Amino acid sequence: MAHAVHEPLADLEDLTLFLRTNADKVKKIVRPPFGAFAELAENVSSNAAPNAEHRDPRNDRDNLFDMRMPPYMRDADASPLSITRRQYQTLMDVIRRLQAPPAPVSAAAAGAPAAAEAPQTPVAKHVRRVAQRRGRQ
C-alpha cells in the first residue's frame, strides 16, 4: 500500500502540487529531527508537551512511536526514525516557498492567457519547449 501511495510523489509536478495543497498535513505527519543543543530548553519535564519544530530526547513523548513519517522504523538507538535536520529544514523551506503568494505579474505578461496555473517546474518548462518545437515542424 505504501508503494501505491508514494509512487505518484516521485513525479516532480505531482510532489509540488501535493506539497502546495497539503502543507498542513505534511507538517503534521513528518516526524521532526531531534533538536540541536541550542534549540533545547535548559530544563524540561519528561511529560512536557512536544515541540512541533524539533524533538527532545528528555521528553518521553518524543521517544514514543506514532504514525508520523517514517512509521514503524527505528534509529540506531531504537528511537523512532526521523529524517535528518537538513532534510527536514529543506522540506519545510520548500513548503514555505510553495505557500508564498505568487510574485506580481509584469505588464508584458499580463496580456498573456492565464493557462499556466500549474507550477512552473523545470520538467514542465521542458515539456512546453518540446511541444512548441514539435508544433513548428
pTM score of the predicted model: 0.65
For 90-111, what is each residue's pLDDT tens digit? Answer: 999 999 999 888 777 665 555 5
The pLDDT score that the predictor gives to residue 66 is 82
The full set of domain ranges for the chain reads: 14-100+118-136
What one-letter code names the amino acid at 58? R
Overall average pLDDT of the 47-65 stretch: 82
What pLDDT shows up at residue 24? 94
Place of cell 498535513: 25
Q: How confident is the model at residue 73 (pLDDT cuts 50, 70, 90)?
A: confident
Give the Cα separation of 34 and 137 in Å (integer): 56
Angle between helices 122-136 and 12-21 (to 10 degrees): 130
